[in-house]
Chain A
Amino acid sequence: MTSTAGSTASEPEAGIRLKDVGRAFGATVAVSGVGLTVPLHGHLSIIGPSGCGKSTLLNVISGLDDPDEGTVEVLGATTSQDRLRRCAWMPQRDLLLPWRDVLGNAALALENQGMRRKAARAQVAGLVERFGLGSFERKLPHQLSGGMRQRVSFLRTLVAGKEVLLLDEPFGALDSITRADLQYWLRSALETEPRTTVLVTHDVEEALLLGDQVVVMSARPGRVAAQYATGFPAEASRRELLRLPEFTELRDELLARLEAAS
């Protein structure tokens, strides 16, 4: 079940490839010597102690930031401009535009890409409906619950049509029931809309549930401390997974790793 970090031969269809990536802010080295490969439509989860540079890593992949050392490749793109065009980023806070209703927020990327407002809203209406937000499509964000807002935020990220989704603790601000609900929802959403994802989280179960690879990072400067392949049946419910001995074993091992890393 364990595979060694970065040893997977560089297949041409790799979605994301990081080689010896380092990034420092002044004297603080956030990440150093990070090598990662995520295959196309693969799902990588990153866990690690607070301040281990997880968010920095996502910023570097997305093109919002550039590494000081090493190379980043996203679907063959290496410049930050080109990476930005291929990546969508979803942070812990939903960051919806409070003056736009659900449809308007979901359609934001399409409008940015030059589509007319009306056409963009019409185009996302179906997706909004499918994701169970149909009766809320004209509501403003402050009229929605936290879980719904996060769903809209994810929808907005999907609509951008980016191949790569970078999720920075997307459910961190939600209560545990809503969170479990959304984790399950996200899993099924990614089955109908296959994307390459990188998920940063504190929650080991979430990492296992949503990733087919899990990377544990060490405390600052962040490095890859361990890497695991998961591969649990996609159709298994959360409750079924929690009863699988492989799942609980891996969870306990990850927790131990995490403790050792912090």
Chain B
Amino acid sequence: MTPAPAWRRVVPPVIVLLLVAAIWDLVVHLGHVQDYIFPSVENVFRSLVKNWSGVLASATWITFQEMLYGFLISIALAAAISLALHTSATLRGAIYPLLIGSQAVPIVVIGPILAIIFGYGISPKLIIVAITCFFPIVVNLVDGLASVDPDLIKVMRTLDGSRLATLFRVEVPSALPSFFSGLRIAAVYAPIGAVFGEYAGSQNGLGYVLIQATPQLNTDLVFAAVLLLTVMSILLFVGLSLLEKICCPWAGKGKK
């Protein structure tokens, strides 16, 4: 099966997006909606350009760093814990239920507590981003490691594969596609984590811009910040998809 050419995957959503923007602007203009209530797309971009060098550029850079470093910390932790859970049934029995339970703790509430402990610097944001991203990565990786074809394990045993050789030559590579699905989901959560972290206490970042601009009814700036957050999230998602294509050229190719 050959994949659809790139333009066939890109053009339809772009058309829909342009349509939505056009309808949005039409409604705002025809309804004479005030900018502070609901800005037109045109004014959002105007605000984006006007505030880029003053506020948004540095805020975007700060939030991007929080997202990226938090994400990387999360990946490292998730990989280590998934391998440990996979290798030891005892650990899995003891820790996995708690991991799932930990998802019930609302991140919004953890933010202020971390701000009290760590202050207004980058560390509480990294922790929150890492926590938000952690769960989808671990769940997908543990699943991926566990769902290896049992016959492959049998083949490894008859080919003198030790437990460790089987882990790194069979289980880890075959879990990669599943690991990447986890990463893609986590990439969508990363900006949410960063913004929550900044809400709880910060001096810069897109979350900081949001929390400052909203009460000032600077709504076009709010939308501009949201747009930047969305674009970063999409870029991270697309970057990961490309990385997956490079790392797992076999994935989704008929036989697994």
- Whether both chains belong to one complex is answered with yes
Interface residues of A (CB under 8 A from B): 62-64, 84-85, 87-89, 91, 93, 95, 97-99, 108-109, 111-113, 140-142, 156-157, 160, 162, 166
Contact sample, A vs B, 14 pairs, CB 8 Å cutoff = A64-B154, A84-B158, A87-B158, A97-B170, A97-B174, A98-B174, A108-B159, A109-B160, A112-B156, A112-B160, A112-B169, A141-B250, A157-B159, A162-B158
Cβ–Cβ contact B159 & A112, under 8 A: yes
Cβ distance B166 to chain A, nearest Cβ, rounded Å: 9
Cβ–Cβ contact A142 & B250, under 8 A: yes
Among the listed B154, B165, B169, B248, which residue makes an inter-chain contact with A89, where contact means beta carbons less than 8 Å apart?
Answer: B154
Cβ–Cβ contact A95 & B149, under 8 A: yes
Cβ–Cβ contact B158 & A142, under 8 A: no
Nearest B-chain residue to A164, judged by Cβ? B158
A84 to B160, CA, bound (A): 8
- Does B136 sit within 8 A of A, measured CB to CB? no
- Does B216 sit within 8 A of A, measured CB to CB? no
Chain B residues within 8 Å of A156, by CB: 159
A88, A99, A156, A166: residue with the most chain B Cβ atoms closer than 10 Å: A99
Cβ–Cβ contact A111 & B255, under 8 A: no
Cβ distance A224 to chain B, nearest Cβ, rounded Å: 24
Interface size on B, residues (CB 8 A): 25
Chain A residues within 8 Å of B254, by CB: 142
Given A95-B151, A95-B152, A108-B169: A88 touches B158 (CB 8 Å cut-off) = yes
B158-214 contacts to A, CB under 8 A, are 158-162, 165, 169-170, 173-174, 176
Chain B residues within 8 Å of A97, by CB: 152, 169-170, 173-174
A156 to B155, CA, bound (A): 10
Chain A residues within 8 Å of B249, by CB: 140
Not counting A97-B169, A98-B253, A112-B162, a sample of 15 additional A-B residue pairs whose C-beta atoms are within 8 angstroms of each other reads A63-B158, A84-B157, A88-B158, A91-B154, A91-B155, A97-B174, A98-B256, A99-B248, A108-B159, A108-B169, A109-B160, A111-B165, A112-B156, A141-B255, A160-B158
Chain A residues within 8 Å of B158, by CB: 62-64, 84, 87-89, 160, 162, 166
B151, B161, B250, B256: residue with the most chain A Cβ atoms closer than 10 Å: B250
Among the listed A85, A99, A162, which residue makes an inter-chain contact with B250, where contact means beta carbons less than 8 Å apart?
Answer: A99
A62 to B151, CA, bound (A): 14
Chain B residues within 8 Å of A142, by CB: 250, 253-255
Cβ–Cβ contact A64 & B250, under 8 A: no
Chain B residues within 8 Å of A157, by CB: 159
Cβ distance B234 to chain A, nearest Cβ, rounded Å: 28
Chain A residues within 8 Å of B256, by CB: 98
Nearest A-chain residue to B250, judged by Cβ? A98
1/0 contact string of B231-256 vs chain A (CB within 8 Å): 00000000000000000111001111
A84 to B162, CA, bound (A): 12
Among the listed B156, B159, B169, B255, which residue makes an inter-chain contact with A98, where contact means beta carbons less than 8 Å apart?
Answer: B255
Chain A residues within 8 Å of B165, by CB: 111-112
Cβ–Cβ contact A111 & B155, under 8 A: no
Chain A residues within 8 Å of B173, by CB: 97, 99
Nearest A-chain residue to B162, judged by Cβ? A112
A91 to B158, CA, bound (A): 11
Cβ–Cβ contact A88 & B255, under 8 A: no
Nearest B-chain residue to A108, judged by Cβ? B159
A233 to B153, CA, bound (A): 38
B155, B157, B176: residue with the most chain A Cβ atoms closer than 10 Å: B155
Cβ–Cβ contact A64 & B157, under 8 A: yes
Cβ distance A186 to chain B, nearest Cβ, rounded Å: 18
Chain A residues within 8 Å of B174, by CB: 97-99
A140 to B155, CA, bound (A): 18
